Chain A
Amino acid sequence: MEPLVTFCLRMGDTTLILGQQTAAWCGHAPVLEEDIAFANMGLDLIGQTQLWYEIAAQTEGKGRTPDDLAFFRTERQFLNAQLVERPNTDFAHALMRQYLFDAWHLPMQEALCDSGHEAIRDLAQKSVKEVRYHIDRSRDLIVRLGDGSDESRAKMQAALDALWPYAADLMATDEVEAALADQGVLPGLDRVRRAFDAETAATLDRATLTIPENGHARTGGRTGIHTETMGYILAEMQSVPRTFPDARW
């Protein structure tokens, strides 16, 4: 696969799976405002997915549509970071997953605003404005619940301990990113890592949470290796289009 197509799928699959996971909170979040917030943010992410898949499909030139990419690929063909497929264990996990994602997503979109690829630059300049609102919310809630009651702090710390190893997968790179960096499509990747480290260090400190020290990192999602939750997510997400492949409404 062309590096550009692989990269667009890595980005689009990550926003799609998180959008799907986030949408599952609709009707289940602890308060109405957060229920609406998660659902609306899921919409932003799925909208961004559409844009990534359009670039992927156009570059690939095989006549596939964004819907084909979302609904007719199998687990090993999905290239999302493992972090976003981690389960909706509780509100603390969902929020921490969102925050760690946002802490990477914002500097990534900022870097892509300078991309040499026109469609990617347009996408980033649009998305970055939405992503700023995403981290504004998740950062605020991480601090409020981390530096909150004993119970909320314990839940946030448990979520951080469980999810931190997966954050590495967001920043995992290989020859695909290297090739795109050389072409000027993907500028400033080193800045993304530094921005993530600075953002998480400052915010988690304010939230009185402790970053796990063992440094254990899980990667592989970007090459199609997923955790045990992924199959269930796809089964649910893809069931209707796979049952009625040509249905229109």
Chain B
Amino acid sequence: MIAMRPDTDTVRDWLGEVPDPEIPAISVVDLGIVRDVAWENDTLVVDVTPTYAGCPATLVIALDIETALRERGIDKIDVRRKMSPAWSTDWISAEGRQKLLDYGIAPPQLNAANCAGMLSAQTAACPQCGSENTEAIAARGSTPCKAQFRCRDCREPFDYFKAI
């Protein structure tokens, strides 16, 4: 039997169904952390870049990717950590941003380099009512990558995915 070697676009489509363990509304591909997919002989190599250095989901993500590919019949998989260039929220896809919004998380502002590190320079529209009349409550939310905001109009609190 000839070993199955699906093309890398197909593999990317499959990975597009692997949810981020902490924000399951979006996939690891939406998040922009799958940097490369390539065959090296009969091994499928997936380059993944961590979001934050200490993100506890990093190990789970590698395991989830491996499990998903194994279920598709690939048995030689090498998930490699790629540090450089450092991940930026600018890499979250347009589809990913919409999914975050639908899930109730305000997506990060684009062009992170302009405001990264300064929450005061970032604004978030309320994912519930769309109002831009919002305020930051705390720089950290349920995960390191999010801050807590509140809408001054509909009064709902919400998470904002910080630009980095």
Q: Which residues of A does B touch, CB under 8 Å?
A: 19, 33-34, 36-37, 40-48, 50-51, 119, 121-123, 125-127, 129-133, 135-137, 140
Whether A37 contacts B139 by the Cβ 8 Å rule is yes
In the complex, A33 Cα to B141 Cα: how many Å? Answer: 7
- For B140, give its contact among A131, A137, A140 (CB under 8 Å): A137
Whether A43 contacts B56 by the Cβ 8 Å rule is yes
- For B139, give its contact among A127, A129, A133 (CB under 8 Å): A133
Whether A132 contacts B83 by the Cβ 8 Å rule is no
Return B72 CB to nearest CB of chain A, in Å. 28
Whether A129 contacts B86 by the Cβ 8 Å rule is yes
Known: A130-B164, A136-B118. A125 touches B54 (CB 8 A): no
Give the residue name and chain of the A residue nearest to B86 (CB): A126
Q: A48 — which chain B residues lie within 8 A by C-beta? A: 53-54
Whether B85 contacts A44 by the Cβ 8 Å rule is no
Whether A122 contacts B84 by the Cβ 8 Å rule is yes
Q: Does B14 contact A (CB under 8 A)?
A: no
In the complex, A51 Cα to B86 Cα: how many Å? Answer: 13
Q: A125 — which chain B residues lie within 8 A by C-beta? A: 84-86
Whether B54 contacts A129 by the Cβ 8 Å rule is no
Whether B118 contacts A43 by the Cβ 8 Å rule is no
Whether B117 contacts A136 by the Cβ 8 Å rule is yes
Whether B54 contacts A33 by the Cβ 8 Å rule is no
- For A51, give its contact among B53, B119, B144 (CB under 8 Å): B53
